[in-house]
Amino acid sequence: MLPLEPARIRDLFPAFSEPSLQGQAFFENAGGSYTARPVLDRLDHYYRALKVQPYGVYRASQAAGEAMNLAYDRIAAALNVTADWIHFGPSTSANTYVLGNAFAGWLKPGDAIVVTNQDHEANTGAWRKLAGSGIEVREWQVDPQTGRLDLSGLDALLDDKVRLIAAPHCSNIAGEINPVAEIAQRAKAVGAVTVIDGVSYAPHGLPDLQGLGADIYLFSAYRTYGPHQGIMAVRPGLAAQLPNQGHFFNDAKPRYRLTPAGPDHAQIAASAGIADYLEAVAGIAGQHIDGADPFRRAHAAMRAQEVALLRPLLDWIRGRNDLRLIGPADAELRAPTVALALREPGAVVAARLARHGIMAAGGNFYAWRLLNAVGVDPTHGVLRLSFVHYTTPEEIARLIAALEAEIS
């Protein structure tokens, strides 16, 4: 029995009752998820009733500011941190770019950082640019067969010169869930900060950041049932030390220092709907799913649902010895972001799957370095099939039948 009843979950996404999307099974969630109804409701309300300058002196303005503040509070609660951790930016790529610039002014020539070749370019390119400021860049490399990051590889790179480790919670290609708490512990032991890209993990349940111990955790709201925003949680003591990236006269305002693009008021307010949605998921999961609060229960339920949905797909892949799966074949170890390296370019196969009502994509998904490392030409690309807890067993069966027909 699935822990989440698909019909009740799907009822919370208008996309599933949208006539133009009927008969289409969505397997490109790692690119961007459908948007949950509470998010759309909050966005709609903001544009209708609160679309004035927030944080002012008149009633509508104050209500707009309160709607935005609520989002900081609610996202922080979902991540088990305080609201002063939370910063919104236009995207995770923009957020890492700003952080990279901030760290360029914080690190000293001769300091070292560790980056991976498993990351999406957003959480590696921005850090590698620091080489231009005299920072030594060390690369934690994946196993070329499996795409796996082994902690022994990290250990070999650590010494007291290392000030920062940037790594993914989960790759958008290999899918394996990396041991973030262990990475953060190792970083702490040498006096380094940890920057974790959670973009490919967060849609499968927002993590408890106190438990993970990372100093910076990034994810994209628009892949996590929300609006097109990047969210970064930054340990407040660290954020205060980083040089101000905003206007000089806002230096004393923590929320303004790492967000030079300026806030998208309506989308920030709408992000509170992500927390509303996760609470609804916890309610649907019921008490048999463990967790200290609704957000932890939603996380546990989403993971359990996805593991159950993923197994038949991985079984089918294992049964085909002509397919190369990047990352582990064990559903417990990975997110349901499944990349296949095929004889044909991934995008060509995706186009054929579209004829079966399967919405998927092929390419390198900006994980250029990872594809190179595992011996796949990034211009040839992989076929990526990514889903979340709202996917149904019937859709998985349809996907497998379409793959059977289209991959020779």
What residues make contact with ligand PLP under the rule CB under 6 A? 91-93, 120, 122-123, 168, 172, 197, 199-200, 220, 230, 365-366
| Cβ 173 to ligand PLP shortest distance, Å | 9
Beta strand 162-168 with 136-140: parallel, antiparallel or unpaired?
unpaired
| Cβ 256 to ligand PLP shortest distance, Å | 21
Q: Which helix (H) or strand (E) is 349 found in, with range?
A: helix 346-354
Give the three-state DSSP class for 170.
strand
What tokens were used for 301? 């339920």
- What count of other Cβ atoms lies within 10 Å of the Cβ of residue 85? 24
Length of the chain counted residue by residue: 408
State which residue, 174 or 282, has the beta carbon closest to ligand PLP: 174
State which residue, 33 or 91, has the beta carbon closest to ligand PLP: 91
Give the three-state DSSP class for 348.
helix
What tokens were used for 5? 């009843």
294-312 residues labelled b (16+ CB within 10 A) or e (exposed): bbbbbbbbbbbbbbbbbee
| Cβ 32 to ligand PLP shortest distance, Å | 8
Q: Contact, 338 vs 325, CB < 8 A?
A: yes
Rounded-to-10 torsion of CA 233, 235, 240, 241: -120
Q: Contact, 59 vs 187, CB < 8 A?
A: no
State which residue, 317 or 367, has the beta carbon closest to ligand PLP: 367
Q: Contact, 84 vs 90, CB < 8 A?
A: no
| Cβ 17 to ligand PLP shortest distance, Å | 27
State which residue, 80 or 116, has the beta carbon closest to ligand PLP: 116
State which residue, 92 or 116, has the beta carbon closest to ligand PLP: 92
State which residue, 79 or 199, has the beta carbon closest to ligand PLP: 199
State which residue, 35 or 92, has the beta carbon closest to ligand PLP: 92
| Cβ 75 to ligand PLP shortest distance, Å | 15
Distance CA 396, CA 408 (A): 19
| Cβ 45 to ligand PLP shortest distance, Å | 24
Closest CA to 73 of 296, 281, 293, 269: 269
Give the three-state DSSP class for 30.
coil
| Cβ 295 to ligand PLP shortest distance, Å | 21
Give the three-state DSSP class for 115.
strand
| Cβ 389 to ligand PLP shortest distance, Å | 18
Could you tell me how many helices (H) and strands (E) the chain has, helices first?
Answer: 15, 13
| Cβ 365 to ligand PLP shortest distance, Å | 6
Angle at 290 between CA 288 and CA 296, to 5 degrees: 130
State which residue, 228 or 352, has the beta carbon closest to ligand PLP: 228
**In angstroms, how far is CA 202 from the centroid of its own chain?**
5
DSSP secondary structure string for all residues of 151-162: HHHHHTT-STTE
| Cβ 27 to ligand PLP shortest distance, Å | 15
Q: Contact, 327 vs 170, CB < 8 A?
A: no
Q: Contact, 121 vs 145, CB < 8 A?
A: no
State which residue, 65 or 125, has the beta carbon closest to ligand PLP: 125
State which residue, 230 or 336, has the beta carbon closest to ligand PLP: 230
